[in-house]
A and B are shown apart, each in its own frame.
Chain A
């Protein structure tokens, strides 16, 4: 344990209401000791529940732990306490950037810079986000390289998507009618859909779920689980009868199963 942490710990032990909890918790966070940092931060906030710096600190701990949503909530509390808090604006800029909302990220980073013009990390973050926003506007998103599992099947790269149970794309592709690649976004939702389908079938005593089909205003979707480790989504426009969807899905599921078995060897 280095001298700074030792001295700060002694101060907080001597006076639990001391504001030294903020730099102590921050030092622990930077060292990756998130549990200890959390305990110190929460204990300190018991004495100072309206300290914006405390909420900003706790938000950074949550962000380090991967809880970006929780971190965003804490930064929002910090801003409610201090609308010009640079750290909270910077944090919300980061959270919005992670969630893909570049406009909101830029807005918060600009407010952070206005509150603290000397913080070079904010300047750098702004440059990065502006660059990405400009690139996104100039060039539509490139479709990432994915295994051509469904080559030869109808809709192989734009209407057939293989996804893992955590909502990550394994193979195939999905495009909206405009041509925009929506594979990653849709994949993220499918994990929740399959979990809800499994729970519904189980709790309503319908047995094991096999597939779900939806006929939408502009297209049809068919979701099934060719194996316990994957979900298969088939998307077609409205001109394809829903009965045909089941046949196409069964063919694609067979291809997907063979490919998945090959991956585990």
Chain B
């Protein structure tokens, strides 16, 4: 199981601009598996990404847009991407500000399918 998760994450981290990818338990905000560059704080990414996804989920449901299938936080020096993964997990990517989001998203979708 761990090898499968790791292989899926490693695929995502090969996209240029990705500084880290992880699987997070979305309710608890805890790390399930990670593949991170030096300097990326995995436990912080997990907790904050899960909390952000939960809050946006409530807004999205109330606006009748349904469950968010892809979340993109753009900041001045980086970005955070997240997509639901099987078994109550969230696949989270920390990336540079100018990442090719389309490509990252494609790899994230494949990674999500791989961990099912």
Please give the residue numbers on chain A whose beta carbons come within 8 Å of chain B beta carbons, in ascending order.
174, 176-178, 180, 182, 185-186, 189-190, 192-193, 196-197, 199-201, 203-221, 233, 235
Taking a contact as CB atoms under 8 Å apart, the answer to whether A189 and B78 are in contact is: no
Question: A196-B52, A199-B48 given as contacts; is B75 within 8 A of A207 (CB)?
Answer: yes
Verify if B59 is at the interface (C-beta below 8 Å from A).
yes
Q: Which 6 A-B pairs have the closest CB atoms?
A: A217-B66, A207-B76, A207-B77, A206-B78, A176-B64, A219-B65
Taking a contact as CB atoms under 8 Å apart, the answer to whether A197 and B52 are in contact is: yes
Taking a contact as CB atoms under 8 Å apart, the answer to whether A210 and B78 are in contact is: no
In the complex formed, the residue of B with least CB distance to A211 is B74
Taking CB atoms, residues of chain A closer than 8 Å to B69 are: 215-217
Taking a contact as CB atoms under 8 Å apart, the answer to whether A218 and B55 are in contact is: no
Residue of B55, B58, B66, B77 touching A206 (CB-CB under 8 A): B77
Q: Show 18 residue pairs from A and B whose CB-CB distance is below 8 angstroms, ordered by the A residue.
A: A182-B64, A186-B59, A201-B75, A201-B80, A205-B77, A206-B97, A207-B75, A207-B97, A212-B71, A212-B72, A213-B71, A214-B56, A214-B65, A214-B72, A215-B69, A217-B66, A221-B68, A235-B65
Taking a contact as CB atoms under 8 Å apart, the answer to whether B63 and A201 are in contact is: no
In the complex formed, the residue of A with least CB distance to B60 is A216
Q: A197-B73, A207-B78 are in contact. List 8 more A-B contacts (CB 8 A).
A: A196-B52, A197-B52, A201-B75, A209-B73, A212-B52, A214-B60, A217-B69, A218-B66
Taking a contact as CB atoms under 8 Å apart, the answer to whether A221 and B60 are in contact is: yes
Taking CB atoms, residues of chain B closer than 8 Å to A233 are: 63
Min CB distance, A243 to chain B, in Å?
9
Taking CB atoms, residues of chain B closer than 8 Å to A201 are: 73, 75, 78, 80
In the complex formed, the residue of A with least CB distance to B76 is A207
Near A by CB (< 8 A), chain B positions 70-109 give: 70-80, 94, 97
Taking a contact as CB atoms under 8 Å apart, the answer to whether B45 and A204 are in contact is: yes
Taking CB atoms, residues of chain A closer than 8 Å to B71 are: 212-214
Taking a contact as CB atoms under 8 Å apart, the answer to whether B75 and A210 are in contact is: yes
In the complex formed, the residue of A with least CB distance to B49 is A200
CA gap between A197 and B41 in the complex, in Å: 17
Taking a contact as CB atoms under 8 Å apart, the answer to whether A186 and B62 are in contact is: yes
CA gap between A185 and B63 in the complex, in Å: 8
Verify if B67 is at the interface (C-beta below 8 Å from A).
yes
